[in-house]
A and B are shown apart, each in its own frame.
Chain A
Amino acid sequence: MRRTWAVLKSTVILSLLAGCSSDVGHDGSGANTGGSGNGANAGSSGSSGAVSNGGKGGTSGASGSSGNGTSGSSGSSGSSGSSGSSGSAGSNPVMSAPPDCKTDQVAHTALRRLTRFEYAQTVKDLLKVDPTPSDDIPADEVTSGYDNNSSVLTISSLHAEKYVLVSETLAKAAVQNLAAIDGCNTAMGEDACAKQFAQKFGRRAYRRPLTDAEVQNLMTAYTAGRTDGSYAEGIEVMIRAALQSPDFLFRLETTAPTNANATLVPLSQFELATRLSYLIWATGPDDALLDAAQAGSLGSKDAIAQKAREMLADPKAKLALANFFGQWSGTNRLSITTKNTTLFPSFTAAMQTAMEAEVPAFLDYVFSGDHSFKTLLTAPVAFVSGPLGQLYVPGSPMGGATPTKMDLPATQGRAGILTMAGFMSVQGHPDQTSPVLRGKFVRAMMLCDPPPPPPDDVNITLPTIDQGATARERFSKHESAGASCKGCHTLMDPIGLAFENFDAVGSFRTMDNGQPIDVTGEVTDSDDPALQGGFNGVAEMAQKLAASQTVSDCMATQWFRFASGRLELEQDSCSLGNIRRSFADSNGDLVELVVAMTQSDDFWYRAPLTP
């Protein structure tokens, strides 16, 4: 099942170089795109490399402009179907690798709405209040593992309702302690104070200076509260108006280029500051960053890199980094994860809380230490609070509320985030482990090479499970079920089964249903020399993954998807290539990876407006 050169030719060099083949396009028009075309129909022929490239790319057709799209009403067009087509840039999969990559354009990113998480962090900073009321905003739709994909983040009626109500609750809380956000002495005149607040607060909320007309608009809101009310009520209504404004809810980048024909549209300093702030802090720029933008001191890539490093060292970066890794690993789903209470009685609410707390604590350990990707993947340590220590090592004492470091016994073969209890819990079923989900995680999120879809004609039902068999025995049925299942599962199962020493909540075990567990495995279908050869258990696999260029490049791709709020496209070949190289050159320094994001053309420019 090794990928053949014939297939690679069509997907071209970047996927070789990058290990990520998902930039390969598929234009949705029904026409095949070279060898990567036919999607699943090719599946049973055994060329799974080709299949895995099928049907990918072109996502961002996405952005709502897609042919079929808009109002979909009855007689609407959208001829032969489908979808995504028009906007999709990936119709020609040919990409060239840096330094010959395209430097004259960047991909278009759809207008980005604040995610619920970003909204919460932003209002917390803006208003100095507990942001909990923002939990009422609906959870964001998750795309490719991330909740910030701009193609799908829109404002539904439910969002609109919550934006009104949540802003009211927050504004009311904020004016209880007005002095914290408004230092104005009303002796100088209430209107003057209100206007000053509109300017200062407005600049923070809209992440740029306000025009006189915009100040006037906020003053209109102020008047609606001040009339027959108090100064504080006026401010309260002004805050509500700011928080409901599209200038706050969306990250608008409307600065017009001086050259109307520019294919690379430069961003304003304020827009750059905003990108930087949401990337590293998941919140809007603070006054200092806005001042820097106002002073024009974010004008060079060096200046931005320096600023990025400063910001990464700030405690505010912790939550944002945890947000990325929580999404990448899936551990952000712990709050909606359930387990069978009979089979996994240890998975209590307190345990869930402790698992959730471990992720940022472990990340803090990585980032305050060598910030190396390898540490993230291999460190045999846990951060335990409450009952979590007992899950890792039975007999451990109850922990306190704050996660503390625990060295894990070498006999368990623990490996950083990859065997973290919370990670094992979310990459599993409520009632059993899932070698498929775990294998798929490594394929999709670490190798950027997700398994192909099952072919059309496959009978997806598995043979009956023999009670008492180990997962490996059950999964051998994928082999006997015939080539149609085997092709795909060969990619996942030998990886996923290596995790079997850890049950569906991450407890260590050596037996499954009374049978000893075999955790040997291998990464099939990879040309990366670091991944060749078999391994015994996750810890050995983690060493291979940490040494792999494919995995390093994929990590860069994952961050890129998160940073840019979309999937990578053809125009990203330079940006992404440079980011991957920087990350590799730094020997997998995760801080440098984030800094590299800020140095790419994709970060520095935007595409011209969609006509």
Chain B
Amino acid sequence: MNPLRFTRRNLLRGSLAATAAFPLLEARKVQGQTGAPTRLVVMSTPNGTRNALFWPTGSGANITLNTFCKSLEPYKSKLTFLKGITLNPQLQNGSLGGNLGSEHARGTGGMLTGRPLNAGTDFISFGNTTSGWGSGQSIDQYLVDKLMPQTAFPSFQVGVHVRDTQVRARIAYKASNQPIPPREDPKDVFNALFGGMTGGGMMGGGATDPALARLWAQRKSVFDLTLAESDRLKKLVGSDDRVKLQAHQDAMRDVETRLVGMVTTGDPDGNPTPATGSCMVPTIGNTDLKVDDQYAQAGQMQMDMAAAALACDMTRILTFQWSYSESEHLFQFLNNIQGNHHAISHDFASSGTNYDAYNAIQTWYAQQFAYFLGKLDSYQEGDGTLLDNCIVLWATEIGESTQHDLTQMPYVFAGSAGGKIKPAGVIDYTASGGKKKDNNQMLVSMAHAMGDESLTTFGDPSGQTGPLTGLT
């Protein structure tokens, strides 16, 4: 994939040539800010791991990467394997004395919320267990509210072959029962970020095209009408429905700025002045989203664009989701594996076809993560790279896959959040008889990395408080 240097001519040559208007790249609001912003990125891959082949050997910064993670070698100095993190007691069990959702569901809904799923029978047919949707806000959305990043997209959700729309397919929540769907179509992501009409930050400035200016004005008029009508309706409905109307208004405000061309431009002539020296528009090809064999292609396009969105400061908070948890994705393209991922993940033989297949799939996912880190690391920002200015979490919904384990989560941090985090290779919280940390604490650490250092607890109160230790 050859990233194009972003120029007006290249864009005109590209897939957008059919669109009428091409206002020029605007300066992002990051202009004038000293230093690059810190970004939060979460990448989730499904179906757990195999501890014996995942965790590095050695200690501290002096680690040797294990079988699954060899591909991360180039970024080893920027990684922290967080060993000894358990999901909090409520996520383990729930106060109902039963399992609120299968482990796959809980590990998904609780990954970024730190909360158990809602009680209910919404997912009676899911993993033989009962649960509702996620019961609270996820850390990414909390940080959107807290930090109010003035980017074209307050947050951005990307998916690859997620397809499913049940609780096992949603990691980001605006609030209880308000899951946020990811964008799964690379064309849609491209248009959102770089398309002229949708006003993704790249194209938002430069009111030089009268047709576009006119469209923006009309949109503004409609937004005003709609928001006012919602205000009127909020007085007529009950409190719970008011929450829904409010969510609609919040969502409209989230998108209004860029859709009406109000993302401010630092350059009245609309000349390109990217946030960083290397902000580029990636190219995308075609992919058939229904074909499992095209997983890698779709994923690579999405990763390229996700990295570009961060590099161009179009968003600072991004979640990236591969398939859904409990994924039955096929990997015939990889060593001609015939079984589905989830079935393979629960075969507890210690050798043989499925053993090899699972290892191959987990290794492949680590390679995708490595590719993404490589993308982030390829963007220079000041003395460092975009990756250095990120706090990246690589997560999956369960631990040891054959056990549906939730007590040894295979979480990895990458990047140093602009210096707020010191990558430590591996931190083993249970070394020397230490107590396990709860996943809430990891979420608190992520908030601290993003600059919300006053936060002490996040998610369900059953979890321990304070951030993880050893990261700063």
Query: Residues of A at under 8 Å CB distance from B?
Result: 22, 26, 28-30, 32, 37-41, 54-66, 68-76, 78-85, 87-88, 108, 110-111, 113, 136, 138-145, 147, 149, 151-152, 154-161, 164-165, 217, 220-221, 224-225, 228-229, 237, 240-241, 244-247, 249-250, 252, 254, 335-336, 338, 340-343, 349, 429-432, 440-441, 444-445, 450-454, 456, 459-462, 464-465, 488, 567, 608-611
Contacts and interface: CB of A to CB of B under 8 A. Distances in A.
Given A224-B222, A237-B221, A460-B404, A338 B330 contact: yes
B132 A156 contact: no
Contacts of B228: 217
Given A83-B100, A111-B241, A452 B222 contact: no
Contacts of A338: 290-292, 329-330
Nearest to B458: A74
Contacts of A72: 113, 115, 135-137, 142, 173, 175-176, 459
A157 B251 contact: yes
B96 A28 contact: yes
B133 A41 contact: no
Given A55-B96, A64-B175, A224-B218, A78 B165 contact: no
Contacts of A85: 119
Contacts of B127: 453
B145 interface: yes
Contacts of A161: 192, 198, 255, 259
Interface in B46-62: none
Q: Which 4 residue pairs spanning A and B have beta carbons closest together?
A: A39-B98, A72-B136, A69-B176, A59-B120
A463 to B, nearest CB: 8
A159 B178 CA distance: 12
A351 B197 CA distance: 37
Contacts of A81: 90, 94-95, 116, 460-462
Given A38-B98, A71-B175, A441 B222 contact: no
A164 B460 contact: no
Given A108-B240, A154-B178, 16 more contacts: A54-B97, A55-B99, A55-B100, A55-B129, A69-B177, A72-B175, A81-B90, A82-B116, A110-B244, A151-B132, A221-B218, A221-B221, A241-B221, A244-B226, A245-B225, A453-B129
A429 to B, nearest CB: 5
B455 interface: yes
Of the listed residues A73, A81, A145, the one surrounded by the most CB atoms of chain B closer than 10 A to its CB is A81
B222 A64 contact: no
Contacts of A73: 137, 142, 145-146, 458
Contacts of A228: 214
Contact of B166 (A57, A142, A431): A142
B266 interface: no
B28 interface: no
B221 A28 contact: no
A330 to B, nearest CB: 9
Interface stretch (B32-40, B341-349, B370-378): B341-349
Main secondary structure of the interface of A (DSSP, over half): loop
A241 B97 CA distance: 49
Contacts of B403: 459-461
Interface in B62-104: 90, 93-100, 102
A230 to B, nearest CB: 12
Interface string B210-249: 0000100111011001101110010011111101110110
A246 B249 CA distance: 10
B142 A155 contact: no
B332 interface: yes
A71 B392 CA distance: 24
B93 A456 contact: yes
B356 interface: no
A160 B240 contact: no
30 contacts: A26-B119, A54-B130, A58-B120, A64-B177, A68-B118, A68-B176, A72-B115, A74-B455, A82-B119, A142-B165, A144-B125, A149-B122, A156-B251, A157-B250, A158-B157, A221-B218, A241-B225, A249-B248, A252-B237, A254-B236, A338-B292, A340-B332, A429-B328, A430-B292, A440-B128, A454-B128, A456-B93, A465-B347, A609-B241, A610-B239
B410 interface: no
A220 B163 contact: no
Interface of B: 90, 93-100, 102, 113, 115-125, 127-133, 135-137, 142, 145-146, 153-155, 157, 163-166, 170, 173-181, 183, 188, 192, 197-198, 214, 217-219, 221-222, 225-226, 228-230, 233, 236-241, 243-245, 247-248, 250-252, 254-255, 259, 290-293, 328-330, 332, 336, 338-340, 343, 346-349, 352, 402-404, 455-462
A229 B211 CA distance: 11
A157 B254 CA distance: 6
Nearest to A79: B461
A392 B127 CA distance: 31
B225 A84 contact: no
A66 B192 contact: no
Contacts of A247: 229, 233
A358 B328 CA distance: 25
A75 B120 contact: no
A341 B90 contact: no
Given A72-B459, A158-B180, A610-B240, A83 B175 contact: no
A542 B247 CA distance: 45
A30 B94 CA distance: 9
Contacts of A29: 95
A567 B222 contact: no
A159 B251 contact: yes
A348 to B, nearest CB: 11
Contact of A160 (B166, B252, B343): B252
A217 B117 contact: no
A336 to B, nearest CB: 4
Contacts of B219: 164
Given A82-B100, A157-B255, A464-B347, A254 B237 contact: yes
Contacts of B222: 164, 221, 224, 237, 240-241, 244
B305 to A, nearest CB: 15
A250 B237 CA distance: 12
B95 A221 contact: no
Nearest to A22: B121
A246 B245 contact: yes
A445 B330 CA distance: 27
Nearest to B350: A464
A155 B247 CA distance: 6
A22 B293 CA distance: 40
A94 B137 CA distance: 33
Contacts of B349: 464
Nearest to A237: B218
Contacts of B121: 22, 55-57, 59, 144, 450, 567
Contacts of B348: 461, 464
Contacts of A155: 244, 247-248, 251
Contact of A65 (B100, B136, B240): B240
B302 to A, nearest CB: 15
Nearest to B91: A81
A356 B324 CA distance: 23
Contacts of B402: 461
Contacts of A79: 461
Central interface residue in B166, B252, B293, B347, by most chain A CB within 10 Å: B252
A609 B175 contact: no
A217 B229 contact: yes
B133 A141 contact: yes
User: Which of B93, B97, B128, B137 counts the most chain A CB atoms within 10 A?
Assistant: B128
Contact of A158 (B145, B181, B218, B328): B181
A68 B136 contact: yes
B221 A144 contact: no
A458 B205 CA distance: 58
Nearest to B178: A154
Contacts of A54: 96-98, 130
Contacts of A245: 225-226, 229
